[in-house]
Each structure stands twice: as structure tokens, then as C-alpha cells.
Chain A
Amino acid sequence: MSSSNPGSPSATATSSSSASSFSSKAHSCIQALSSILSTVPSSVSSSSSLLHDPTVSSQISTLLRDPDSGSGDNNLCRWLYDTFHSPDPELKLVVLRFVPIVAGIYLSRIALRKSLAGFEAILLALYAHETTARDGQPISVNVPDLTQPSIYHEAKSSVKTQATELNLAVISPTLEPHGTMRSSRRARIVGVALELYYSKISQMPVSSKLEFCEFCDIWATGIQNKPSSSSSSKQKTILLPWELLQPSLRILGHCLLGAHKSKKLYEAASMATKSLYERSLHDIDAKAILATSSLLRLEKMALDPKLNVDHTEIDMSLAL
């Protein structure tokens, strides 16, 4: 599966020289990681194996959940920061894989007045990457008017208008550069990191998406819904402005209705969607209520066998 997003080049290296330089970068990355983690399996030798190896991911996740993990001198944060700045796009994917957990823990710890400079550095790096990639343009979507014909339908348009009647909806406004994390811009910066994560989500391993669902639960209701969670204490919810909520809803939509096959992810996404729906009722946020309630209804419909008839099934008659 190759990405066609112009913001980040295709995952396959183009020439042998860059391939070898990428693989040497991956090597030095893995080496640096070995000094931080307790074990790095020998099967991890390239950036894509680094992305998918479960032992490495679970060790990194555990270390990130450590109470003092986000400080400025934390070497894991340093490693993530350096790795993201590598020119190899696959190594960037490795860092993106941990966005849910970094963003989740960062936002939950804001009220605790701890030093979170390490996390902030990573999030600001992601934000800066997107700022450059978007080049001062907002991301907008045109909601078409069906009186104009399109490639999928015909219409009797009386006036040939030049597309001046575009109904442009801005779904992500222009990014201003931010060198430091100011509290009032925190939600936007983390939101942009989530948008970047979503743009690569088809390449993210399931474990990363499960972590996202887990944090959605915590953000929304403070209750961790993982059955195997060791701590059953209620955590604090966070402020969920639209800048955070919107990219989260897109990620959840993928986890719930995207064409993946993981039952575990589906269940986790279902719980996270319910949590966000309850939270949207609490905040009486009309847009969020509409979006989350529609996801819940769609989930129910997807499970209903009467609605999921296979129309491509063969006609069973034994007559010619």
C-alpha cells in the first residue's frame, strides 16, 4: 500500500544509494534504541520491521507511560525527536506510530504541573513538519451543489457557472508557525499531530490504533475501558475543543468502519465512540452529538445480518 499524499514521499526508496543511506540511518536508529530499551530483537533490522515489531512497541509504550517520561532530558523522547527528523520517511512512520500515546499522556498530565518538555518537543516537531508541508494553505473541502453536473451524476444546469459557487468548508485552517508550546495553542498543536497521524493511518499497526481508542476513552470520560487495565482509578478528563475532537472522530471512524479485520480494534473503537457520544451530550456539543450518534447507528447497522445481504452471491439454480 503506497501513499499518494504529496506531503510525504512514497515509502519505497527510489535509488540504490538513497536506499543504502536510509538503511544505514535505520541501523543507527536501532542501535541508539538498543541503549534505551532492555531488549531489541535481532529480527529488527530495517525501518519497516521497527515499525511493526511488537516487543519494541510494547517496551516503548511502557516506558512512555512511566510517571517521569515526558521531561526534557528523557532519552526516549530524545530518540523519538531525532528519529522523526531523519530523512527516511519510514522512520518518520515509526515515530507517528506513538502519537496516540504521546498525545494521550501529555494531555492527561497537563494539570499535574510536571515538566513535559520532552513530549512538547516531539509534538512541536510534528506540527512544524505539517506547517511546512501545507505551505500556508488551509485544508478545505468543497461541498458540491447537485444542480451542477458531476462525474457521478447528470444535472440540467441552466447557467454554466465557473465553479464560482464553490461551497468551501475549511476543515483545517491555515497553520501559524509555533516555536514553543503556548497553552492557548496546545489543543491546535496536538490536533495537527493527530491529523498527521490520520493521514498515515493505513500504514499504522493495529496496536497503535488500539492505544488511540484507549486514550479516547480516558479523554472523554476519564474511565479506562481496557479490561486488562491494572489501574482502575478514575483519571481526569480533558478539555475537548473541536480542534482535538475533529481529528479524533476521523481516526475513530477509520477504526470502526474502515476495511480492517481486527475484531479487537472494532470493539475498542466501539467503546471509544460510546464514550465520546456521552461526552458530547455532557458538553451539549451539537456537531459532536451528530457525528458520534451517526457512528453508533452505523455500527449497529453493520452488525445487523438483515442489512448485510451479499448481492454478489451466485444464482443457485441448477437449470441452464
Chain B
Amino acid sequence: MADDETPSQTQESSTAREFSANGTSMSTSDVEAKLDKGNIEEAESSLRERLSLNSEEARTLLGRLEYQRGNVEAALRVLDGIDLQAAIQKLQPSSQQAARLVLEGFYLKVKSLQKLGKFAEAAQDCANILDAVGRIFPQGIPDAQVESKLQEMISKAVELLPELLKQAGNYQEAMAAYRRVLLNPWNLDNDCCGRIQKAFAVFLLHSGLEAGPPSLGAQADGAYVPKNNLEEAILLLLVLMRKIHHGDIQWDPSVLDHLMYALSLCSQTPVLSKQLEELKPGVFHRTERWNLLALCCSGVGQNKAAMNLLRKSLHINERPNDLTALLLAAKICSEDSQLAAEGVGYAQRAVDNAKGVDEHLKGVGLRMLGLCLGKQAKVSSSDFERSRLQNEALKCLDSALSFEQDNPDIIFELGAHYAELRNLNAALRFAKKYIDITGGSVMKGWRLLALILSAQQRFTEAEVVTDAALDETGKWEQGPLLRLKAKLKVSQSRPMEAIETYCYLLALVQAQRKSSGPMKIDSQVEDDKVKEFEVWYGLASLYSSLSHWKDVEVCVKKARAMKQYSAELVHTEGFMHQERGEIQEALASYINASLLDPFYVPSKVRIGALLSKLGSNSLPVARTLLSDALRIEPTNRKAWYHLGMVHKDDGRLADAIDCLQAASMLEESDPVENFRSIL
């Protein structure tokens, strides 16, 4: 900083400066003239005479004048004339006024050193100030007995010390200083304490240096002590938010943003939601608050809550064109067929609003639109509407791809859609591209490819793909691939090998259930049960196709231990009855399965098939059930076949031919597992 700069840093008029003390005042002009010529002693004696000051008082005023005028080095020179070190040693607890003067002089020196970039020296001197204060008030600073200007100076020194250490690059000492400042009683006011806490929290979050837990001795006493930087930062930020809620300090948006950052990293956005909810109205515009809350909910999968908030904020009278909210709403809707129609609306609005700087999001909007349309198609009530929606969905996804050629998600979704429509060649192209682009790191890509190959009846290649996928997958995630492999072996009429695969998978699943003992959370335990259930159920189906009924019974029992009420298991038992000729029991089981799960298609198909053989009175019922099955799963070839037979028995030959043709076409392109299990 240039020595002859004169910044105007005072609130009073900068041109006419005045000293005042002991009831008198004088203009600074001739003192300034003396200082400019370097006559510090003369300036000092002139001041002492006119204002009846002692040497230290005069020097302090001169130092301040030079500092104000921007002559920082000169200020230091002036202050060198007082023996601050000795003065500080002589401080008594009794005389606060004298203490204040000396400490102010010292503080001026500290600030001057800071302005000159001599941070380490400044920090050392600042620490000396705090030590001196500690000597004046050995029991800590009492509340009301400190003279206000002294307190002001102490507060500034306390706030400055850690900053100086940071500026000097002594991060470890800065951490220690922050703690010294915050964990001891300095009688700081709320604002000052708040600023220091915030600065410490930011330092903890971003300095990149682990502070280690604080050493506290007796202070702990049942209070929560954070163990690492992130914990300590989050604690401090929550404390600050509490002060804001109570009105102890003013609203500071950066506190919330730091907390948002920290909590998102920890996936603890519900805690953030609570903070947002506690803020008084007016801090945020209500739509902004709803959108932030929706993001917090969505971040942890609380989709229903998120949608409720987004519906409010996207209402026509609020902010219906907010692109982020529209995309988020569309995404949540695209995952639930009951919400898909609503999602189409949001996605379309997103596409319409992706203009100007947001144009890059148009492809995303189109992708969401495609997904929502595809999901909507699944619950459509008529064939005509279903195919219309599916075609539109494909068009949207194609369009999205033109905006984002390398977006792996769009490529996968196109592959899955084409597969469901049984356009297997197109599906294959996309599935291969997806694996290339993602380097084979996502399992669903491998599964899609294997299923498409199996639908094309290329079983050996499908198995090769599955084996390649198994190589690239960690042990604990291999479950779905092994199940797929077993089914492929069944399709190739190698049931014994299929059983072997299932047994291997069973061992894996059981090992996983027993490992990672007590640290398991509930959802993990449930997950493991589901996995084991699937293995036993798979084995049951397999034995069922081989007519090994004793083995089927054993497997069903084991599966039931994992999941008591399962439509699949009841259905398997039904099949067993049917094959043994126990038709009434079979029918009862199938009906029970349908009651357990109204969307379980195989049971509907079987009931329809059985009823169609019971005489012409049951044909209408059979037809209803089979049509219902086809509504849920339009590519179920058995349903088409039996429906065709029903039409034939009822004399509607043209319809029968249509259905049987459909069944035949589907048989040629049936994958070993339903394509729906992919999306």
C-alpha cells in the first residue's frame, strides 16, 4: 500500500480531521505536516502539550492518524516508540482504562502488520493481546463489568486471530485458535460469535485439513463432542441456524447454503428440510421454499412428498414454468405408471420452456416426455391408445437422442422400448451401444443384451454375454445375472446345469445374509430376504417344470419362510395340483394368487385356461379374465393362445385366427425373462 495514499475511512468528513481528548480538541493539520517531514518526536510533544496526554496516549493517536491516512509503515514506526511489550506485562486486573489504551495500541500494530502482509508476526502479536486479556481477567470475562470500548477491542482481536493464522498459512494453528476463541468465555455478542462460528465452519468444511477432535478436559460433561471436521462444521451450522430461527442473529443465506452443501454430501437432506420449514415466511419466496423442499425429499426417495410440493409450486398461479421443478416432477412421475399421465403434462411444459440459455435442457425434457408416455402406455385401457402412446414415446426418445447423442440413459431406454415392441434388431443395436458407452459398468445393460439375444433364440450367445457380465460384476451383485443364466440353461434344455447355477447362487445369497453382521440396517435385511426368496422361487419353478413335486414342495416351504404371502408361490402350488389332476384345488390356488396380487398375470391366464375347458357357460368368464391379463401384459403369448382357443370354441373364427397368430409371433421372440423387469 503506497505510503502517501489517503483513503477516507472515517465516517466523519475526511478533509477536516480533529484530535480530541480530555475535553479539548485540535485540528490535525500541523501534526500531519510534522509527520510528513518525519518528525515523530515533535508531533508527539505538540500533541502532548495541547491535549495533556502522556507519551503512550499521544503515540496511539498519532498511530491511528497515520493508519487512517493509509501510511501503514509510518504507523508502525510511530508505535515502535512505545514499549508495548513492557506495557502489556505491567497490566493490572484493576485498571481497565489503562489496559484499553495499551491494548488498542497493540491492536493497531497488529492491523498495520496485517495490511503489510506480515501475517505471522501479526498473529503472534494478536495472540499476545489475548494472553494479556487472559491475565487481566483470569476467570474469563464477566458479563457486565467490562468497559464497552475494551470489550469491543477484545472482540475484534478474538475475531482477527484465527483469520491471521489462516492468512499466514498456519492451518493447524488456525484450527486451534478458532477453538480457543469459541470454547472459552470472551463475552462476545451474538453477531461477533456468529461470524466466528461461521468462519470456522467454512474453514472446517473446505480447508482440506482434518482438525482432529477438540481436547476439552472437563468441559465435555455429557455434551456432544464432534469427532471430525464434517461433524463439527455441521454442528456449528445447525447452531447458527438455531440462532437465526430464534432471532439472535440476522438471516444469513450463506449459512443455509453451507449447510445445504454439507448435508447433501452426507445424503441427509431431510435435516435440511426441517431447517427450511422452520424459517419464517418471507425469507424465501414460497415457491422457492417448496422447490428446495421438493429437492430435499426427492434426494432421499421421498417421492410422494416431493410431488405434493411440486404440484403446489407448479400451479398455474404460482411458478408454472420453472424448468428445474418441471423436470423433477416429470422424472418422479416417469417412475410410476399411476402418475405417468400427469408427468406427460410436466414434461411437455419443460420442453416448451427450454429456450434461450436453457436450450441445452430440451433433450432432457424430451427424454422425460418419452418415459412418461411409455409408462402411461402400460396402463392404457385400449390397444389403440397403447400403441399410439408407445409410438409417441419412441418418437420423443429419438428426438431426445438427436439433442444428446451420447446420453447413455436415452440409448438404454430406446433399447428397452424397442425390445418391448419386439423390434429386436433395433433393440440389439442400442443395447450394444449402451454397453460400449458405459464400459460395461452397468448391469442392466448386460441384462438387456442377454434378454434380447434370448428373445432372438440365440441362447448360446446370450449365455456368453451373461458370463462376460459376471466377470465384470462384483460378487454380491451377481444375483440377477445368475438367475438369468439359470433360465438360459433351462431354455437350452440343460436343467441340471440350471440347478447347479441356482445352488451356487443360493450359497452366495446365504453367505451374504450371514456376513456384515450387526451393522446391518433394516432395509438391507429385507433386501437379503428378497434375494433368497427369489432363489427358492426360481428353484421351485424349475423343479415344477421337471415335475419333481417333492423338491417343489421343499423349495416352496423355504421360500415361504422368506416371504409369507406371495402370489408366485401360491400359483406354483396351483400348478402342482393341476399337473396331479386336482383341478378344484388348482383353481382355488390360482384364484387365491389373483386375490393376493390383482396384477399377477400367470394366475389369470391359468384360470382362464381351466375355465375354458369347463363348458360353454364359462367361456365368457374365461374371455374376461384372459382379456384382463392381456391388458396388463399385452405380450403374454399364453394369454393370446388361450384367448384364441376361447374364440374358436365360441365360433368366432376370425378373432381366433388373429389371437393365435399373435401367440405364434410372440413365441418366436420371447425372452427368458420379461423385458419389463429391466425398466
User: In chain A between 213 and 256, which residues have their CB closer than 8 angstroms to a CB of chain B?
Assistant: 222, 236-237, 239, 246, 249-250, 253-254, 256
Residues of A within 8 A of B182 (CB): 152
Residues of A within 8 A of B205 (CB): 253, 257
Q: Is B244 an interface residue (CB 8 A)?
A: no
Residues of A within 8 A of B212 (CB): 4
Q: Are A144 and B406 in contact (CB under 8 A)?
A: no
Residues of B within 8 A of A171 (CB): 230, 265-267
Residues of B within 8 A of A39 (CB): none
Q: Are B254 and A111 in contact (CB under 8 A)?
A: no
Q: Is A311 an interface residue (CB 8 A)?
A: yes
Residues of A within 8 A of B163 (CB): 312
| Residue of A whose beta carbon sits closest to that of B21 | A320
Give the bracket for the number of chain B residues in contact with chain A: 35 or more
Instruction: Determine, out of A64-72, A84-92, A197-205, the stretch whose residues face the partner at the interface.
Output: A197-205
Q: Are A184 and B209 in contact (CB under 8 A)?
A: no
Q: Are B208 and A318 in contact (CB under 8 A)?
A: no
Bitwise interface map of B from 653 to 671 toward A, beta carbon under 8 Å scored 1, else 0: 0000000000000000000
Interchain CB contact (< 8 A) of A286 among B9, B235, B328: B328
User: In chain A between 247 and 274, which residues have their CB closer than 8 angstroms to a CB of chain B?
Assistant: 249-250, 253-254, 256-259
Given A151-B220, A185-B474, A236-B406, decide whether A287 and B299 contact each other with a Cβ distance below 8 A: yes
Most buried by B among A142, A256, A301, A318: A318
Residues of B within 8 A of A62 (CB): none
Bitwise interface map of A from 170 to 195 toward B, beta carbon under 8 Å scored 1, else 0: 01001010100011111100000000
Q: Are B239 and A312 in contact (CB under 8 A)?
A: no
Given A143-B268, A298-B261, A311-B195, decide whether A320 and B224 contact each other with a Cβ distance below 8 A: no
A252 to B220, CA, bound (A): 34
Q: Are A258 and B206 in contact (CB under 8 A)?
A: yes
Q: Are A176 and B474 in contact (CB under 8 A)?
A: yes
Instruction: Determine, out of A19-27, A50-58, A95-103, A288-296, the stretch whose residues face the partner at the interface.
Output: A288-296
Given A3-B209, A202-B207, A290-B264, decide whether A183 and B472 contact each other with a Cβ distance below 8 A: yes
Distance from B224 Cβ to chain A, minimum over Cβ atoms (Å)? 4
Q: Are A257 and B202 in contact (CB under 8 A)?
A: yes
A126 to B657, CA, bound (A): 65
Interchain CB contact (< 8 A) of A182 among B21, B224, B327, B471: B471
Q: Are B328 and A1 in contact (CB under 8 A)?
A: no
Q: Are B208 and A278 in contact (CB under 8 A)?
A: no
Q: Are A316 and B10 in contact (CB under 8 A)?
A: yes
A314 to B113, CA, bound (A): 13
Q: Is A306 an interface residue (CB 8 A)?
A: no
Q: Are A184 and B441 in contact (CB under 8 A)?
A: yes
A282 to B331, CA, bound (A): 11
Q: Are A318 and B64 in contact (CB under 8 A)?
A: yes
Q: Are B211 and A301 in contact (CB under 8 A)?
A: no
Q: Is A48 an interface residue (CB 8 A)?
A: no
| Residue of A whose beta carbon sits closest to that of B159 | A312
Instruction: Determine, out of B376-384, B432-440, B490-498, the stretch whose residues face the partner at the interface.
Output: B432-440
Q: Are B230 and A141 in contact (CB under 8 A)?
A: yes
Bitwise interface map of B from 207 to 242 toward A, beta carbon under 8 Å scored 1, else 0: 111111010100110111111101100111011001
Interchain CB contact (< 8 A) of A313 among B111, B157, B219, B327: B111
User: In chain B between 470 and 484, which residues have their CB closer than 8 angstroms to a CB of chain A?
Assistant: 471-474, 476-477
Q: Is A110 an interface residue (CB 8 A)?
A: yes
A171 to B264, CA, bound (A): 10
Q: Is A146 an interface residue (CB 8 A)?
A: yes
Bitwise interface map of B from 299 to 343 toward A, beta carbon under 8 Å scored 1, else 0: 100000000000000000000000010011001000000000000
Q: Is A156 an interface residue (CB 8 A)?
A: no
Q: Is A315 an interface residue (CB 8 A)?
A: yes
A308 to B195, CA, bound (A): 11
Distance from A210 Cβ to chain B, minimum over Cβ atoms (Å)? 15
Q: Are B202 and A286 in contact (CB under 8 A)?
A: no
Q: Is B607 an interface residue (CB 8 A)?
A: no
A111 to B406, CA, bound (A): 11
User: In chain B between 485 and 542, which residues have their CB closer than 8 angstroms to a CB of chain A?
Assistant: 516, 519
A15 to B170, CA, bound (A): 24
Residues of A within 8 A of B271 (CB): 143, 167
Q: Are B261 and A291 in contact (CB under 8 A)?
A: yes
| Residue of A whose beta carbon sits closest to that of B211 | A4
Interchain CB contact (< 8 A) of B258 among A111, A298, A313, A320: A298
Q: Are A186 and B265 in contact (CB under 8 A)?
A: no
Q: Are B65 and A312 in contact (CB under 8 A)?
A: no
Given A143-B234, A222-B406, decide whether A186 and B439 contact each other with a Cβ distance below 8 A: yes
Q: Is B83 an interface residue (CB 8 A)?
A: no
A35 to B230, CA, bound (A): 43
23 examples of A-B residue contacts, CB within 8 angstroms: A4-B210, A111-B437, A144-B224, A149-B222, A150-B224, A150-B225, A152-B236, A182-B474, A184-B473, A184-B474, A202-B209, A236-B406, A250-B265, A258-B208, A282-B360, A287-B267, A290-B260, A290-B264, A291-B264, A312-B163, A314-B64, A318-B65, A320-B51
Residues on B close to A: CB < 8 A? 9-11, 17-22, 25, 28, 51, 53, 57, 60-61, 64-65, 67-68, 101, 107-108, 111, 149, 152, 156-157, 159-160, 163, 166-167, 169-172, 182-183, 192, 195, 197, 202-203, 205-212, 214, 216, 219-220, 222-228, 230-231, 234-236, 238-239, 242, 253-254, 257-258, 260-261, 263-269, 271-272, 292, 295-296, 298-299, 324, 327-328, 331, 360-361, 364, 368, 404, 406-409, 436-443, 471-474, 476-477, 516, 519
